[in-house]
Structure 1
Amino acid sequence: VSHTAETTRIAAGTRQAVALADAELKGAQPVFNLALSHVGHHQTRNRGTIGGSVSLGEPAAEMPATAVALGAEIEIHSRDRGVRLVKAEEFYLGPYMTVLEPDELVTAIHYPRWGSDAITVFREVAQRPGDFALVGLVGRVRVAQGKIAEAGLAWFGMGPTPIKARQAEAALIGASVSDIDTRAIAELAVADTDPFTDHHATAHYRRTVGRRIFGRTLGEALNIQQAAA
């Protein structure tokens, strides 16, 4: 793990448990740290790697959605063609499908540093701790002079890939914190999703729960920010 003023680079082979215990990484990437604490169990995190979780492309997993929400870039190596960087939101094509070519390997993930004034947004609903999420939301919102200056939000468990809440992000940017209608923003956020029905939950259930957790989580985060201002 290495840091610059603008980014944090995490090597693909970094164990999840090692990353979770890294105090400097927690300070630089609090959303990443919080999301990682919900990945599997401590036994699996001792063996699982950051690159493995990101590159697998499980649509209900925390790490792919976190990379998408924070605007991360995936560092990819080919023996013959060298290195390329791919935006996380362009990396996933479908469940367990990515843009990786047969001769390529993920070697690192680069996460932008949002600054200490950014608000952490995270919540997931799962049947048991450590299970894949039925519905999950992750991201950051940065406030400047009482208005939303930047927003990066993504869903997991709400479609075939991690899904950016683009309409919600667009509606938030420039809005006064005191005037935000979290229910209306939640409707926009859910409109971007493409949930599925399986033996765990229906698409209707996922939309309903997603709407609730988005409004509640965003509202709580903004209330904390206002209290600290």
Structure 2
Amino acid sequence: MDAAQNSENADHFLILTPRLILLPTPFAVSVSAYRKLYAELHGDASFCGMGFGPHFLPRKWSDDETREVITTRDIQRSWEKYSIGNFAIALRDQPLGDDSNIGLLKGTSFKDFVGSDMALFDDGKLKWVGYAGIRDATTTSLPHRGVADPTLPPWQEMVEVLYGTSPECWGKGIAKEAAEAVMKWAIDERGVRRFIAETERDNQRSGRVLQKLGFSHSGTDYWKEPSEVEWEFVVR
């Protein structure tokens, strides 16, 4: 386990749900077990086909490649610029006794939960199953527009939700539980007012997850891909 190596620079907080631990990737990138899971997911044909469509060819990256991908695609482009990004998803190994262990943990609560030596993140302590997060779509995933488009709303209304879990977790509500927790955090902590998303037209599973989260078809054409369906959720 090399998580402690990054502890001085990571955002020291995590999100707990009844079944899950959600760890920001600026910290999770240093957990070798999570990097291994991330590489395996992108080498899995069913995962890649479901999430990215037939044009995305699966290939299991090396550990160095995986660290580089997570760092450049998420940490540098999202966390360091906007203080939003992906969270690694791990399963909790014990049922909750009360509601005090649900929600945002930071500061002393974070240290008490993970232990003074971050032992919770030692290899083998947690089962990592995927990721869920948010990003400013105007600067990360939408087609390049050259300069800032004045017709688009502010970034707080262009926040894209994304998630991906191991196929063994499909149909168990893990993606919904994780995404719902991240969205609540984004509203409470980052002032997000609108979420957007896109799914492959054939990816009915992800579409059902978004519908359960309260999303509806947006009618927008941000991604300009006929093979994709676009969604939105407006915070009330």
The TM-score range, normalised by the shorter chain, is 0.3 to 0.5
TM-score (structure 2 length as normaliser): 0.32
